[in-house]
Structure 1
Amino acid sequence: MTGDLTAGEPRAPRRTRWVVVVRLAAVLLFLLGCWNVWDGISALARGGFVVADADRVLLLEVTKWGWVLLALGVVELAAAAALLRGAGWARVVAVLVAGFNGIVQLAFLVAYPVGAVLILVLSALIVWAVVRHGHEVGG
């Protein structure tokens, strides 16, 4: 048996330094998941409505959003852990939940402009890193 032992076998994706960026995106997704779980639990405990001010009304039933944020946070935590391990499904879920989280933050721009923009930017970075370089982490 002489020759190349790897002949005919599929090649593993080439790993570059961008793997670090994808892992950082997974850590950021984990932090966003923790944030959403915390916000969800506090919203469920607090209840009521959020109103920004008389000129710009943002009427939000907090308990319903609490359940949405709690579920979103749990999915983000699971996707972040799986993304660190290189699961292919986690890349899809990470892009979906980070994208959804970024879009949801548009509703909170009136009430919490700095926090909403920060989370929107983090969500965009997660989506970019996973879409552009996520295949390099996968196995």
Structure 2
Amino acid sequence: MATTTHHPRSPGSMAAAGGLTVFAAVMLFIAGILDLFRGIMAIADDDVFLATPNYVFKFDLTSWGWIQLVLGAIAVVVSLGLFAKATWARVVGVGIAGLLIIANFLSIPYYPVWSLILIALYAFVIWGLCVTKKDTDDLA
């Protein structure tokens, strides 16, 4: 009697899981580009941003712009790794998205609505990368 190996997931669920990785890669790319632009804006012209006088976390806006610029650039590079299905990109993607959530939380006084939007985007990235297993990426 011949035995066949049966994958515990159906082809449809595996395709959906692979699609979540692509979704996370796209979201990370878009949010990384937006953080790049935000960093450039903070470095170039401080008048674009709102000033909140009584916020616990206060930073020099130009320095903060460089932080956003570097983290955004890393996010874009990691998203390209996700498109290439690199294993390192999944781990680094969760880490960089977590760092960018913290960075955007700390920058709420400078651009509150935009910070909250980017926090939500990075939360979706973490969800998309954590909900799938490595073996499902082969179908994406």
Amino acid paired to 2:118: I
Contact (CA 8 Å) 1:40, 1:65: kept in 2 or not?
yes
State the TM-score, normalized to the length of structure 1: 0.77
1:82 aligns with 2:81: yes
Identity of aligned residues (%): 28
Amino acid paired to 1:39: R
Which segment drifts farther, 38-47 or 76-85? 38-47
Separation (CA, whole Å) in 1 of partners of 2:34 and 2:133: 23
In structure 2, relative to structure 1, the CA distance for the partners of 1:120 and 1:92 (3 Å cut) is same
In structure 2, relative to structure 1, the CA distance for the partners of 1:134 and 1:81 (3 Å cut) is farther
- Residue matched to 2:105: 106
User: Which of these two proteins has the greater Rg computed from alpha carbons?
Assistant: 1
Contact (CA 8 Å) 1:22, 1:133: kept in 2 or not?
yes
Amino acid paired to 2:86: A
Higher helix share: 2
Counterpart of 2:71 in 1: which secondary structure? helix
CA displacement at 1:53 relative to structure 2: 3.5
Segments ≥4 residues shifted beyond 2 Å: 13-16, 50-60, 108-114
Separation (CA, whole Å) in 2 of partners of 1:45 and 1:58: 22
Deviations 1:20-64 (A, max 9, x none): 12211111100111011111122222258x663445476331221
Amino acid paired to 1:137: D
Aligned length: 130
Counterpart of 1:17 in 2: which secondary structure? helix
Contact (CA 8 Å) 1:22, 1:137: kept in 2 or not?
yes
Q: CA RMSD in A?
A: 2.9
Q: Which runs of 5+ in 1 are unaligned?
A: none
Contact (CA 8 Å) 2:50, 2:111: kept in 1 or not?
no
Separation (CA, whole Å) in 1 of partners of 2:19 and 2:39: 30
In structure 2, relative to structure 1, the CA distance for the partners of 1:44 and 1:53 (3 Å cut) is closer
1:117 aligns with 2:102: no
Separation (CA, whole Å) in 2 of partners of 1:43 and 1:90: 28
1:59 aligns with 2:46: no
